[in-house]
Amino acid sequence: MELLDFIKTMAEDVVPGIFGIAVVSLVVFGVIVILPIKTWNLVKQVKWLWYFQSALLLIVVLGAKSIILSALPLEDAGRETVERVAQSVTWLLSAFLAGQALTLFVWEGVFRRKYQTAPPGLLTGLATAALYVAALYGIMTFVFERPMTGFIVSSGIVAGVLGLAMQNSLADLVAGIAISIERPFSVDDWVELDDGTLGEVEDVNWRATHFRSWNSSLYIVPNARISNARVHNFNRPEAKYGHWFDVHVPSTVPPTLVRRVLLQAAVDSERVHDDPAPLIRVSGAGGSYKYMIYVHFDNYQTHFAGIDDLLMQVWIQCARHGIVPSAVTSEVILRRGVAEEIKEPSPHDLLAEIELFAALDEESRRLLVGGMKLHAVRLGNDVVRQFAHRV
């Protein structure tokens, strides 16, 4: 009886204001959601319990409202307060149950089956916040009958201004959500971007992705830049990392022997995987034969130590069979010559080349050269004109 008197006093004297109704609604809502929070692990295992639990909670809210209204002789203000509290709790409870359904059937169901990974916390947080914002809009519009049009318009203007001022940050935020959904890489993956940035992924947040480089420094790359870049993930689709390099052996050594020796070296290396099997191919010929060794290691970050171990085994096997790998050589041909000196033709040589004086003997040409003067005449100019000099 004292409890009913307390509820009546609260409904008629203390709670009628919006603030009082909001406080009571939040308290009632907090008490009601204790049950679904405690039984959440069980509901995730037996999903049909969510339907039963949701219906039960809504029935409890509506039933409690009916009991209070019928058991207490409340005045109109008190009855209106109870109605508003019940409606507010119903809106909040609906948002809570919708969030559970979203997690149960979308995030842990469809999303996980499609992407084979847990949904990003940023995406689930934004979705949950949107549900409670919708619940708040419903409470203010339908419970308290306070139009939200002006607030929405003002919020839209503010959002537009903030969007222009923070467009780079918003682009990073959207790109971060896309990266979290698509999962081109995960923490601890080794990644190289198309601009040469290479490192191990340490963290992916809403604004940027952090990479630790080989020299233990940190790259912080905005998500928007990564979303537009070509990403090379060394750990996808599996951690095994394939690598090939060349070994030069003199052409006098039979290729069948060399291939057998190199294959034995790959098999003896503890860091080389047997699956896929090592591959030895002759890839070039010349002064020496070039052999390609293609092998797989545990992962990208350990393949450097793997190459070291494999090359040691190559040296050991070649030494056992008396094979000395040759260095890469290039043939250079040197020619020693004397520069030819081009001399200007003498008047005697010029006369010898002119058909008019070809019939003269050497002595006659020598006498003619003695009284000759050398003149340079351009092509097309007259050398001799008829009657130019009369005797």
383, part of any domain: no
Asked whether residue 381 is assigned to any structural domain, the reply reads: no
| DSSP 8-state assignment for residue 356 | G
For residues 68 and 140, state if they share a domain: yes
11 falls within a domain: yes
Domain boundary among 320, 352, 367: 320
**Torsion 186-192-194-195 (CA) sign:** positive
Q: In the listed set 146, 176, 207, which residue is the last one of a domain according to the structure?
A: 146
Domain that holds residue 228: 185-233
Token output for 253:
């050594």
- Angstrom distance (rounded) from CA 90 to CA 355: 123
If asked whether residues 9 and 130 sit together in one domain, one would say yes
Residue 333 CA, chain-centre distance (Å), reads 50
> Do 8 and 137 reside in the same domain of the chain?
yes
Does residue 247 sit within a domain?
yes
The reply to whether 277 falls in a domain is yes
Say if residue 137 is in the same domain as residue 14. yes
Same domain, 25 and 79: yes
212 and 268 both lie in a single domain: no
Same-domain check for residues 134 and 10: yes
Structural domain total, the chain: 3
Q: Report pLDDT for 57.
A: 85
The CATH number linked to 263 is: 3.30.70.100
Residue 180 and residue 122 in contact, taking contact as beta carbons nearer than 8 Å: yes
On whether residue 290 sits in a domain, the answer given is: yes
Does a structural domain hold residue 327? no
Q: How far is CA 225 from CA 21, 88, 178, 190, 197, in A?
A: 48, 44, 12, 17, 12
Q: How many residues belong to the chain?
A: 391
100/189 same-domain check = no
Nearest alpha carbon to residue 328 among 278, 291, 358: 291
Determine the pLDDT at residue 271: 92
Q: 216 and 112 in one domain?
A: no
pLDDT at 191: 94
Q: How is residue 2 written in tokens? A: 């004292």
Output the tens digit of pLDDT for each of the chain's 391 residues: 454 454 445 444 444 566 666 667 777 778 788 878 888 888 888 888 888 888 888 888 888 888 777 777 767 777 787 888 888 889 888 999 999 899 888 888 888 887 777 777 777 888 888 898 888 888 888 887 777 666 666 666 666 766 666 667 777 778 887 887 778 888 899 999 998 899 999 988 878 899 999 999 999 999 989 988 899 999 988 889 999 999 999 888 899 999 999 999 999 999 999 888 999 999 888 778 899 999 999 999 999 999 999 999 999 999 998 888 876 656 666 666 666 666 777 777 777 777 777 777 777 777 777 777 777 777 777 777 766 654 4
Angle between helix axes 167-182 and 121-138 (nearest 10 degrees) is 120
- Taking the C-alpha atoms of residue 327 and residue 288, their distance in angstroms, rounded to an integer, is 9
For residue 27, being part of any structural domain is answered with yes
**Whether residue 263 sits in one domain with residue 305:** yes
Domain boundary among 146, 173, 194: 146
CATH number of the domain at 226, please.
2.30.30.60
What is the distance between the alpha carbons of residues 277 and 280, in angstroms, rounded to a whole number? Answer: 10
Q: Do 109 and 15 have their domain in common?
A: yes
**Percent of residues in the chain assigned helix, strand, coil, to nearest 5:** 55, 15, 30
CA–CA separation, 165 and 158 (whole Å): 11
User: Based on the domain organization, do 227 and 249 belong to the same domain?
Assistant: no
